[in-house]
Amino acid sequence: MTGASIGAAIGAAIGAATGAVGAPPSLRDRLREATRPEHERLEAGLDLAGPGLDAARYRRVLALFHGFWAAWEPRVAAGIADPALTGPRRRLHRLRGDLAALGEDPDALPVAPPPPLRGRGEAMGALYVMEGSTLGGRVILKRAEGLGLPPDATGFFAGHGAETGPMWKRFVARLEAEPDGDAVLRGARAAFLGLEAWTLGPDAA
Ligand code: HEM
Mean pLDDT across the stretch 98-118? 98
Query: Which ligand 1 atom sits closest to the C-alpha of 128?
Result: 35
Closest-CA residue, ligand 1 atom 27, reads 133
Q: Is pLDDT above 60 for 170?
A: yes
Average pLDDT over every residue of 21-48 = 93
Tell which phi-psi region holds residue 119, choosing left (phi > 0), alpha (psi between -120 and 50) or beta: left
Closest ligand 1 atom, CA of 28? 40
Q: How far apart are the two ends of the chain, measured CA to CA in Å?
A: 29
Quickly count: other Cβ atoms within 10 Å of residue 67's Cβ: 22
Residues with CB under 6 A from ligand 1: 3, 6-7, 10-11, 14, 28, 31-32, 39, 42-43, 46, 48-49, 128-130, 132-133, 135-136, 139-140, 195
pLDDT in tens, 176-205: 999 999 999 999 999 999 999 999 988 775
| Cα–Cα distance, 131 to 108 (Å, whole number) | 26
Region 140-154: mean pLDDT is 91
Average the pLDDT over 136-140 and give the result: 89
Q: Kindly report the average pLDDT of the chain as a whole number.
A: 90
- Measured in Å, residue 130 CA sits from the centre of ligand 1 at 9
pLDDT, residue 205, reads 59
CB 159 within 8 A of CB 134: yes
The DSSP-derived string for 181-197 is HHHHHHHHHHHHHHHHH
Q: Which fold has domain 3-200?
A: Heme Oxygenase; Chain A (1.20.910)
- Where is average pLDDT lowest: 30-34, 92-96, 134-138? 134-138
| Residue 56 backbone dihedrals phi, psi, to 5 degrees | -65, -40
Q: For residue 90, which of 116, 42, 127 has the smallest C-alpha distance?
A: 127
